[in-house]
Amino acid sequence: MPTSLILHWQGGPTRGEPGAVLAGLAALTGRYDLALGARRVRDATYLDTVDWRLRRCGLVLSHEGSALVLNGSMEPRTTKLSETPTWPARVEHLAPGPVRDGVADAMWIRAVAPKVRSRTITRDVAVLNEDGKTVVRIEWTEATGREPVRTDPLVRVVLRPLRGYQGDADRVARVLLGAAGFTPADDTVFEQLLQAAGMGEDEPGAAITADMPADVAVATALLGFADAITDNLTGTIDDVDTEFLHDLRVAVRRTRSLLKVAGDVLPDRLAERYAPRFKWVGDLTTPTRDLDVYLLGLDELARSLTVGEPADLDPFGAHLRKELATQRRALVRGLESQRFVRLLDGWRAALTKVIENGRSPITARDLAADRIRGVARRVFRRAQAITPESPAEHVHALRKRCKELRYVLEVFRPLCPPGVYRAVLKDLKRLQDVLGAFQDGEVQSAKLRLYAHDMLEHDRPPAATLLAMGELLSRFVREQHEARHDLNGALVTFLGPKTYSRIEGLLP
Amino acid sequence: MKTVASYNIKGGVGKTTAAVNLAYLAARAGHRTLLWDLDPQGAATFLFRVKPRVKGGSARLVGGKRPLDPALRATDFENLDLLPADFTYRNMDLDLARRGDAKKTVHTLSRLLRDLSDEYDLVFLDTPPSLSLVSENVLHAADVVLVPIIPTVLAQRTFDQLVEFLGTFNGDGPRVHGFFSMADRRKSLHRELIATLPAEREGISATAIPALSVIEQMAVHRAPLGAYAPHSPAARAYDALWTELVQLLATRTTEH
């Protein structure tokens, strides 16, 4: 079927009024007659996840009237709604139907929420040949952003060729493009609205440069992490989806790691003063995150049971949810406490002061070379000391050092040659994956034992549930053994000559 | 994809108006619909304001040398496309005969339409008035043959002849559905036949399309009735015929 052509029009708003639209299309009237069709007004709420997952997949999800509408590379999909939806909403809270099926993979576990609300006025225009036959359909559309900011009306003109009349469509396009105010476009209304509202572009954080004083570089990176904590705070408190807490924790971990590795360049004993405070934040968030992780994987775990039935784990799931509700209350109390507010405010003020008054005698380049080398040495030392008989604590210690190396590499990434950086990160990630699998197995086993103990004490679970949990336990232990086996091979690769020389090549 | 032919050996009985209005109603009901105007006079093509021209003409089309796709035209109505008439269709009998083997020849249109089966749910064939190789092709391609009958004794005789002819199709012939066309209730014979014939003859519906000027005005408006007189008695009569056709096609699906 013929494909539509989109044009932007830079003329003034017409509100779809007949005279104004016809004036806009006046260039066509030499050869064609124009017949105006209906004028339609519709309000739309465009939705996406906080990290633009739908947009990155080329999907445009909107709530229009009493329907969810999905556009993208596929045929448009619509799902009628029987009740007004509330936002944010995770995929399981969307109305079942083709739209939900179309966004499920892209949304993953994240919630969608309104990004832009708009009002669109559309006027249909039929382009008629000398027989009065419609040969091209035109949609004259004016979209006005209403929230979060009000935009000017954005006019787009969509030419829809009709089968057998492509020649006329080409001619109409040529004539309009030759007339004043029309330019070709390939974006969506959503993209146009985002651009007009100044949204949708990831704002790059302040970049570290090689000649920056070292304290300014470290404070700049830490301020970026503080921004990430702030960005994810409301979503965590409101429990929009579990990734807000995850991202908040990652920012806290990065903060703590950088304080440990390079906090000594900061003035006023900042690292010494704030490290325990961020440890408190980390500890505050851990119980909720552990339960989130368990609950996110519970369906898959239930399906994996071979002796027990998936439903055997239902009481376990209920226990986890009850526990999660308790832990979430504690988490929210903590994140809304004066202690937390003061921590974040004080931290931001202190970092801003450092950035404004940086006086470190060494540069970011010197610091990067020194600290990457230092952390890498510690990683290699730990890795070389691991043997098949090493206790689990030694493996965990290696994992922590690897995370430190990862974080310090990410902080100083702007100073590293991109190709070498990618190769080093690949080496490191391969080792981290195996270390992660090993530790996950151990943490999950230990947690499962604790949960079983708690349940026995409080919930009196059925025997089938405890047996099913036992089956899970054996799976975790088996996976841990497999990861331990894989670790030996991963260490041999990591400790080979290539990795170290790549890291040396990375140092600025 | 189902195929419906609007057919009668006689001309001027309302074949084209039936094909045009039923195709319009099918498209409005959401079916992806094609109307093939096989009549070289091109009345259906005119009614949809499409130029009666098919590149390569009948010879290339039925000769399989040119696919149908480039000849298709969108009408002004959603879901409704037209394969226009061309004056060379007057030679379509000869072009079909040149295909050789008589058995294959009568299935030529069926084969051509098969290529469109993914694109359309319903195809209407508006046929020229004759009993020819073209009409034989149409009758072989159709699942349902709609036969407009002017309520006269001679028209009734023609319907019987058609049913008899289709009886020779060895069991895989189309379903024949006669309906009254150009019915004038002021005439006693019309009234009498409309009242009695459906009970006496299998395959004749009691639905009667009235002889009204609003139907003749289709040529003035160059549009189906539904586009300019959707609530007229004539439009309602076509609605009733469309409802019957839907049931016939559903039965046809069950039978196959």
ipTM for the predicted complex comes to 0.88
Question: What pLDDT is attached to residue B42?
Answer: 94
Number of H helices, E strands in chain B: 13, 8
User: A390 touching B, CB under 8 A?
Assistant: no
The verdict on a CB contact (< 8 Å) between B76 and A133 is yes
CA distance B167 to A358: 100
Q: Which long-range contacts (CB under 8 A, 24 or more apart) does B159-165 make?
A: B159/B201, B159/B204, B160/B201, B161/B9, B162/B7, B162/B8, B162/B9, B163/B203, B165/B131, B165/B139
Question: What pLDDT is attached to residue A499?
Answer: 83
Chain B residues touching residue A134 (CB < 8 angstroms): 76
Closest chain B residue to A160, measured at CA: B74
User: A133 touching B, CB under 8 A?
Assistant: yes
pLDDT tens-digit series, residues A409-446: 999 999 989 898 999 999 899 999 989 888 888 888 89
- Token pair listed for A294: 């368990």
Question: What pLDDT is attached to residue A204?
Answer: 63
Closest chain A residue to B119, measured at CA: A1
Half-sphere exposure for A303 (CA within 13 Å, toward CB) = 4
CA distance B9 to B148: 10
Chain A residues touching residue B72 (CB < 8 angstroms): 163-164
CA distance B203 to B209: 16
Report which of B111, B144, B173 is spatially closest to residue B2, judged by C-alpha positions.
B144
Q: Which residues pair with B6 in a beta bridge?
A: B126, B146
CA A36 to chain B, closest CA, distance in angstroms equals 14
The verdict on a CB contact (< 8 Å) between A163 and B72 is yes
CA distance B247 to B220: 32
The rounded average pLDDT for each run of 10 residues, N- to C-terminus, in chain B (256 residues) is 93 94 97 96 96 90 84 96 93 84 82 91 94 89 94 84 81 86 90 88 90 94 95 95 93 61
Chain A residues touching residue B81 (CB < 8 angstroms): 163
User: A163 touching B, CB under 8 A?
Assistant: yes
Closest chain B residue to A161, measured at CA: B74
- Facing residue for B74 by CB, picked from A131, A132, A162: A162
DSSP state of A232: H
The verdict on a CB contact (< 8 Å) between B49 and A163 is no
CA dihedral over A45, A51, A54, A56, signed as positive or negative? positive
Closest chain B residue to A162, measured at CA: B74
User: A162 touching B, CB under 8 A?
Assistant: yes
Question: What pLDDT is attached to residue B254?
Answer: 53
The verdict on a CB contact (< 8 Å) between B50 and A133 is yes
Question: What pLDDT is attached to residue A202?
Answer: 65
Question: What pLDDT is attached to residue A78?
Answer: 95
- Facing residue for B72 by CB, picked from A131, A133, A164: A164
Question: What pLDDT is attached to residue B255?
Answer: 53
State how far Cα B119 lies from the chain centre.
19
CA B236 to chain A, closest CA, distance in angstroms equals 25
CB B180 within 8 A of CB B209: yes
Chain B residues touching residue A163 (CB < 8 angstroms): 72-74, 81
DSSP-derived 3-state class of residue B63 = coil
Question: What pLDDT is attached to residue B232?
Answer: 95
Cβ pairs A/B, distance under 8 A: 26
For testing the chain A interface, which of B51, B76, B82, B118 should be mutated: the one with the most A CBs within 10 Å?
B76
Q: How far is CA B158 from CA A78, A123, A361, A421, B189, in A?
A: 50, 51, 108, 87, 17
The verdict on a CB contact (< 8 Å) between A163 and B50 is no
CA A81 to chain B, closest CA, distance in angstroms equals 21
Residues of chain A with pLDDT under 70: 1-2, 202-205, 508
Report which of A410, A402, A404 is spatially closest to residue A380, judged by C-alpha positions.
A402
Question: What pLDDT is attached to residue A2?
Answer: 64
Question: What pLDDT is attached to residue B157?
Answer: 84
